[in-house]
Amino acid sequence: MPTYDELKAMPPDEVKTAIDDVIADNMSQVCEDSAFCDCMAGTNADNWGIDDYELDEPVFDDANKVVRVPVTYDASGDQIEDKGFCGTEISGTATLVIHSNGNVEVDDVRAELSGLD
């Protein structure tokens, strides 16, 4: 995983690819966040996973030596047989934070059931 300093030193066209690779490797953390789990708990579905996501413009926070990457995502789970349908899709936003050592954490996760129309 590239560190904050490595990302900061890259040419702009390489930064986008490097950040996308880091985010792709860490999107599953969104499904482990308490806000996502609270939303998921209101369904009769399991085996949740991120289906699609879109990155917004990354923000380099020089004071804290982190890169904040806002993300919009769609997730889905499998309907549990013999249970009433309560939704199998969740949409939301999150911010993935790439720290100076390359570690990634999920912050500010928002999740809501979707596809119930």
* CA angle, 51 then 71 then 97, to 5°: 120
- 3-state secondary structure (DSSP) of residue 88: coil
- The two tokens of residue 46 are 């399991």
Average pLDDT, the chain: 93
Residue 13's CB: how many other CB atoms inside 10 A?
7
**Structure confidence at residue 87 (pLDDT):** 86
The H or E element that residue 97 is part of is: strand 89-98
**pTM for the full model?**
0.88
Question: Distance of CA 65 to CAs 8, 18, 45, Å?
Answer: 10, 17, 39
The residues near 52 (Cβ < 8 Å, ≥ 6 apart) are: 73, 74
Convert the pLDDT of each residue in 2-38 to its tens digit: 888 999 999 988 999 999 999 999 999 999 999 999 9
- The two tokens of residue 48 are 């949740």
- 3-state secondary structure (DSSP) of residue 12: helix
Separation between Cα atoms, residue 18 and residue 115, nearest integer Å: 32
Only one residue has tokens 């482990």, namely: 32
Nearest C-alpha neighbor of 3 from the set 103, 104, 102: 102
